[in-house]
Structure 1
């Protein structure tokens, strides 16, 4: 693709916006290398990937991308038999664990309609490294240090190091605290110099404390001496430290070799993780710019619907643009600062985005061609360094375009013919457009020459367009008007600003008759268009009034239906009372058993099992009530985006997707996305919505859940507990959480020996309602906290 076009259309700024959405440095390479392609099948595949990823973000829980590290350098090291540090092995472990979680996430997506097939097929190639993960996890801790239990020898060496260090400290403390040496001690502390334990002695008392001097303070008043009684112990400590280093190196070398055995598979998986992250970054960017997947064609046709420039923020005017079907050349006229250049850049940049596999900020249904080349000559490109005028610089660009252009090119020309004599500039501009038109290139050119308006009318395959200008406010509206050239507003603007009428009249008499007639025709067309738009707005207001009356009727109808459901709500209240009584009774039994010292784990589990069975029976009765109510209720006429109430849950939500064949809808209710029977939904409108809010406060399907939510903290602290007590505490806590609306909790187990962490993770691995769990981020408590999602 032409580098000059990529630069002036600011494609790099789009890449920088995209970069904000990646999760890993691994993916930066893909962003850096992103550029427009020209193969139709390749572009279509990339567009479909983004659309499928966007659907996943809308309908499903967010994929767990956190924890992907750039481990390419570490993999290159092991290929050269270089031993990795513990931190590098930890990064490899975390990346493989993230890959494992992503593999499970995509494998478990509900994709009966094959909506996500490209993403799922790609994710299916993520490798499995359970044995390697287990090996590294058993040897490396959360800080990247080798664990004591990595080998029997290392455990013994470190035990001896701790014992010897304690012995040295005991002896040094006895020296510091002895009456014999106390007066020679500069400060009662033990410190380390040259990896040996020493104490600070006053310089003048050097010979009073037998030992080896290892260092002195900056002032020279303090000497750091290793007393003779601890020299042998320090020597032993140094020897043990050397043994420790050798054993740690051996363990790291062994782990590095295990990584090397799977290095090719790991590289493939890392590549897939980066690609998936890149696809989902593009999907997030599409959401940010309200983008859509463009339809692609090889016919050179551009049809943009409500297109916006992605780099312009605020209230951006969206425009429709067409080219390549009935005409191959579009001439845009209008005032300066009226938006002609922005329109030109919008078309060019959206073409580049589309061919790079990015969604475009335009409505769905927009169609873009695949061009082999995009050429542009945009803006004031006067070159001081080359001593070239604006006109000369434009000509240099245009000459290059003329030499390379063909029928599969898009050419964007800004202020064509500007910078020289108007008559010559207009003639040259028409000749250039003739040449490009004959070559079959698709061309969009902006100009302020009146001659080009007539030229576009007079030649088949060439169309006029203009950016609208409001003479009353003397401001551009930035709206593009296809098929209509911009009229000359100079006299009207001058009159509005207060120029004498006799001067304006004199100028008007000097104009050629043809120019006056053309200008009058354009004004008449603009007036007709304005009247049409006014009538269109009036019709839309009438339509809104009709909608309001319809909603008022539906609201009254809904109030009648609510009366019929009054008895059903009374049944829900009774069911809630039964559930609360059963829960209170079960909790009381479990608490009594726990208070009895003779209560066994089996007894407590039997009580908890009884609670679950009773809960199932209540739920069954409740389900019969709900199903009976559904049979008596009709199917509402809903659309995507409608506000609804889930009757059986007394929860409000919004319809995300309809499945008429299954008689179901996907509803966003708070943080949940649920598939709901259409008969279980009511549409909520206007005052009815406020009324439902009030009713919801009075009648709640799940009072037990509400009470639990108030009593159950989203945080459980196990620090200081024994493993057995912690296990019982966690199991009961998880059961209680299931009766609340909590979707995420945190369990604080501390770092310590890791026993509590292992107990917690074993329970979570076997608890059916747990979707995933992870260690906390640094600000959440790091490796001393486990975050659980249900």
Structure 2
């Protein structure tokens, strides 16, 4: 893509912003080469890489790339059989370490089932070398210093050096302490020619003997190595020489180890630089609140709420910009400083950003095309003078565009035809647009000429657009209005600023009838647009109210359906209980008759009548409504808080302590509290003295009907918590020591609720996630 377009659209400033997030030398080099791509598959891959980078930044903070140096100099020296110094080997060690770290990082992401589009493939290009990595890490620190652990010989030599240094310092103390200090200019030990010396006053040279290594500038001080330490200094010097030779040998050995691997290491460095750049692009996208651009195969550009990324986000105005579908040419009109050029630059800059694989500051689902070229002819829209040289410069540029334009080009022209006589300028502008349109390229141009507004209205695949202007405040709003040409505001502005009415009237009379008709048409269109927007807002508000009413109706209908189902179910339960009770009583009557018959006694008539009466009484009639006595009896059987009851499913006795909103009764069974339906409770009579003297006991027995596993998957939160509470109570009654709660993974709401409930239940001894083979974190094992 041509550099002129990139410079005018300020793509380099975007790259300067991205550079703030780079940490590797090669990453900086890759950023300098970053350009918009014109091949759709490459653009897709670059955008996918940035999307992966955004996901990793969101989940992990960033891709863990180290600060790495360029390795090309090291590679060239090794290929020429040269050896590397410690600093250069340390740089290679950093690349090897970072390679191993990133391999492990992406393996963990893969194990965590993080979905990535491109970066798993890119990480596969990294070549790990654990043996060489460990050897360099053992031998060289990050500053390039050879470590003691590089070899046993080096460690031994350095131990000897340390011992000699200590011995020499102890020997030198006799000269820096006590009576000998009067012979020194300063009571210190220093170094000259890598040997330990003391600063002796010149007149006392004979007191020390030894070797003079240096003299002060004034000649008053001699730096003398005392005779007593000459031998030790010689030993130290020899040891230091051995140290340097051993370090040189180690560096040569490491260089030989690196030499055959250097090409792979340099390739790793390039891949790491790509990760660094992807990291930076993702962080910049966060900075500008960028979104992923979708690629249109038909080259339709549809930017929703697009913002220029280099303008203060608190001041920039978002605009919808669309071109390439129903129309391929857009002519933008409006007042100076109204935002025409910025709107056009926003389109061009966001397009080349997306083609370079960057996210763009626009609403989600925004589309971009893939253009071979973006041609730009944009001057200074604030310029006051438009002279011949300016016109000539624009014409040279446009001629070049016309020679190279194709159907996959985007052309942006500011102030088309400006800089010459208005009539001639309008004529040549129309001719240029017609010629460019023959290539079927996409064109956005700004203009002040009313003739071009009429051209756009009549020409095929061409549309007018304008920058909105507030007549009341006399200020532009910077909103782009597609489909509406801009009206001339000069006379209106002059009138509102207080210009003499005669001048305004005369000005209007001098305007051609065609211009007045055009302005009237534009004003009418603008009036209709504002009415449409007002009506649209009102309709949207009404639609929102209707949605809320509909949602409320659906909620009430669902509640009613649920209530109906609950009542039917409860009726079935009660009916089954009546049938069961009636069956038991009838069987007792029959058994009594059979017993009489077996005994050999004749069944008397009164006994038969009594049995018939008992059977007849089994018929359930709702006579309570007619009989006061029965109504009172029924009321006595109704359950209420404080009643003593028998829990039929468990055969346990307790007291009702609460009735909840779902008509369930909470019963205190000894130390347990459990919830029951009314059908599962039988009211009992107990004497006060018995209640006081005998506490309610709960017998724990093993149950074969209760499962040791509770499955809450698919339940709503409130339902799941109720079932969990009941289940724990039942498990305790059944005598279970351990149960399993299956809550699944899902959104984590049920799992968190289970954890919170278990933490607050004093009857839970301990709990934790199940082993991986038994569901992992999708199930919790509870010890009771």
Q: Equivalents in 2 of 1:552, 1:83: separation in Å?
A: 79
Query: How far off is 1:542 after superposition?
Result: 4.9
| Structure 1 residues 252-291: aligned runs within 5 Å | 252-291=251-290
Q: Structure 1 residues 567, 7: CA separation in 2 closer, same or farther (over 3 Å shift)?
A: farther
In the other structure, the counterpart of 1:403 is: 403
Q: Equivalents in 2 of 1:83, 1:703: separation in Å?
A: 67
Partner of residue 633 from structure 1, selected from 697, 713, 716: 716
1:225 aligns with 2:232: no
In the other structure, the counterpart of 1:246 is: 245
In the other structure, the counterpart of 2:148 is: 148
Q: Structure 1 residues 382, 535: CA separation in 2 closer, same or farther (over 3 Å shift)?
A: closer
1:635/1:679 contact within 8 Å kept: no
Q: Structure 1 residues 228, 112: CA separation in 2 closer, same or farther (over 3 Å shift)?
A: closer
Query: How far off is 1:509 after superposition?
Result: 1.3
**Structure 2 segments unaligned to the other structure (5+ residues):** 560-659, 667-671, 673-706, 726-741, 762-767, 770-776, 778-784
Query: How far off is 1:262 after superposition?
Result: 1.6
In the other structure, the counterpart of 1:116 is: 116
Q: Equivalents in 1 of 2:12, 2:86: separation in Å?
A: 38
In the other structure, the counterpart of 2:19 is: 19
Query: How far off is 1:169 after superposition?
Result: 1.8
Query: How far off is 1:703 after superposition?
Result: 9.2
In the other structure, the counterpart of 1:444 is: 444
Q: Equivalents in 1 of 2:550, 2:246: separation in Å?
A: 80
In the other structure, the counterpart of 1:137 is: 137
| Structure 1 residues 578-657: aligned runs within 5 Å | 633=716
In the other structure, the counterpart of 1:304 is: 303
Q: Equivalents in 1 of 2:162, 2:213: separation in Å?
A: 23
Q: Structure 1 residues 157, 471: CA separation in 2 closer, same or farther (over 3 Å shift)?
A: same
Query: How far off is 1:57 after superposition?
Result: 2.6
| Structure 1 residues 396-545: aligned runs within 5 Å | 396-542=396-542
Query: Secondary structure, in 3 states, of the residue corresponding to 2:362?
Result: coil
Q: Equivalents in 2 of 1:413, 1:567: separation in Å?
A: 79
Q: Equivalents in 2 of 1:567, 1:236: separation in Å?
A: 95
Q: Structure 1 residues 410, 190: CA separation in 2 closer, same or farther (over 3 Å shift)?
A: same
Q: Equivalents in 1 of 2:93, 2:172: separation in Å?
A: 42
Query: How far off is 1:68 after superposition?
Result: 3.8
Q: Deviations over 1:605-645 (max 9, x none)?
A: xxxxxxxxxxxxxxxxxxx9996676753599xxxxxxxxx
In the other structure, the counterpart of 1:586 is: none
Query: Secondary structure, in 3 states, of the residue corresponding to 1:457?
Result: helix
In the other structure, the counterpart of 2:52 is: 52
Query: How far off is 1:190 after superposition?
Result: 0.6
2:468/2:486 contact within 8 Å kept: yes
In the other structure, the counterpart of 2:313 is: 314
Query: How far off is 1:195 after superposition?
Result: 0.5
Bigger Cα displacement from structure 2, 370-379 vs 49-58 = 49-58
Query: Secondary structure, in 3 states, of the residue corresponding to 2:493?
Result: helix
In the other structure, the counterpart of 1:209 is: 208
Query: How far off is 1:145 after superposition?
Result: 2.1
| Structure 1 residues 305-384: aligned runs within 5 Å | 305-315=304-314, 316-380=316-380
Query: How far off is 1:473 after superposition?
Result: 0.9
Bigger Cα Rg: 2
Q: Equivalents in 2 of 1:480, 1:329: separation in Å?
A: 15
Output the aligned Cα RMSD: 3.8
Q: Structure 1 residues 200, 114: CA separation in 2 closer, same or farther (over 3 Å shift)?
A: closer
Q: Structure 1 residues 258, 477: CA separation in 2 closer, same or farther (over 3 Å shift)?
A: same
Q: Equivalents in 1 of 2:212, 2:388: separation in Å?
A: 76
| Structure 1 residues 160-179: aligned runs within 5 Å | 160-177=160-177, 179=179
2:337/2:382 contact within 8 Å kept: no
2:743/2:751 contact within 8 Å kept: no
Q: Equivalents in 2 of 1:120, 1:496: separation in Å?
A: 64
Q: Structure 1 residues 541, 301: CA separation in 2 closer, same or farther (over 3 Å shift)?
A: closer
1:300/1:369 contact within 8 Å kept: yes
Query: How far off is 1:539 after superposition?
Result: 4.1
2:304/2:362 contact within 8 Å kept: yes
Partner of residue 676 from structure 1, selected from 708, 723, 747: 747
Query: How far off is 1:339 after superposition?
Result: 0.6
Query: How far off is 1:60 after superposition?
Result: 4.6
Bigger Cα displacement from structure 2, 389-398 vs 446-455 = 389-398
Q: Equivalents in 2 of 1:462, 1:281: separation in Å?
A: 39
Q: Structure 1 residues 505, 65: CA separation in 2 closer, same or farther (over 3 Å shift)?
A: same
1:664/1:676 contact within 8 Å kept: no
| Structure 1 residues 714-729: aligned runs within 5 Å | none
Q: Deviations over 1:395-434 (max 9, x none)?
A: 2211221222232221110011112111111111111111
In the other structure, the counterpart of 1:196 is: 195
Query: Secondary structure, in 3 states, of the residue corresponding to 1:454?
Result: helix
Q: Equivalents in 1 of 2:757, 2:176: separation in Å?
A: 71
Bigger Cα displacement from structure 2, 340-349 vs 64-73 = 64-73
2:63/2:279 contact within 8 Å kept: no
Q: Deviations over 1:470-500 (max 9, x none)?
A: 1111111111111110011122211111112
Bigger Cα displacement from structure 2, 538-547 vs 371-380 = 538-547
1:380/1:390 contact within 8 Å kept: no
Q: Structure 1 residues 433, 113: CA separation in 2 closer, same or farther (over 3 Å shift)?
A: farther
Q: Deviations over 1:700-740 (max 9, x none)?
A: 98699xxxxxxxxxxxxxxxxxxxxxxxxxxxxxxxxx99x
1:67/1:95 contact within 8 Å kept: no
Query: Secondary structure, in 3 states, of the residue corresponding to 2:109?
Result: coil
In the other structure, the counterpart of 2:610 is: none
Q: Equivalents in 2 of 1:627, 1:329: separation in Å?
A: 66
1:300/1:442 contact within 8 Å kept: no
Query: How far off is 1:17 after superposition?
Result: 1.3
Q: Structure 1 residues 314, 359: CA separation in 2 closer, same or farther (over 3 Å shift)?
A: closer
For these two proteins, the number of residue pairs brought into alignment is 600
Q: Equivalents in 1 of 2:111, 2:47: separation in Å?
A: 19
Q: Structure 1 residues 627, 544: CA separation in 2 closer, same or farther (over 3 Å shift)?
A: farther
Q: Equivalents in 2 of 1:375, 1:144: separation in Å?
A: 50
Query: How far off is 1:567 after superposition?
Result: 13
1:382/1:390 contact within 8 Å kept: no
Q: Equivalents in 1 of 2:718, 2:399: separation in Å?
A: 66
Q: Structure 1 residues 168, 57: CA separation in 2 closer, same or farther (over 3 Å shift)?
A: closer
1:93/1:133 contact within 8 Å kept: yes
Q: Structure 1 residues 24, 567: CA separation in 2 closer, same or farther (over 3 Å shift)?
A: farther
Query: Secondary structure, in 3 states, of the residue corresponding to 2:518?
Result: helix
Q: Deviations over 1:436-472 (max 9, x none)?
A: 1123222111011111101111211211111111111
Q: Equivalents in 2 of 1:553, 1:102: separation in Å?
A: 54
Query: How far off is 1:110 after superposition?
Result: 4.3
Query: How far off is 1:552 after superposition?
Result: 10
1:126/1:269 contact within 8 Å kept: yes
Bigger Cα displacement from structure 2, 330-339 vs 407-416 = 407-416
Query: Secondary structure, in 3 states, of the residue corresponding to 1:127?
Result: coil
Could you state the TM-score of these two structures normalised by the residue count of structure 2? 0.70
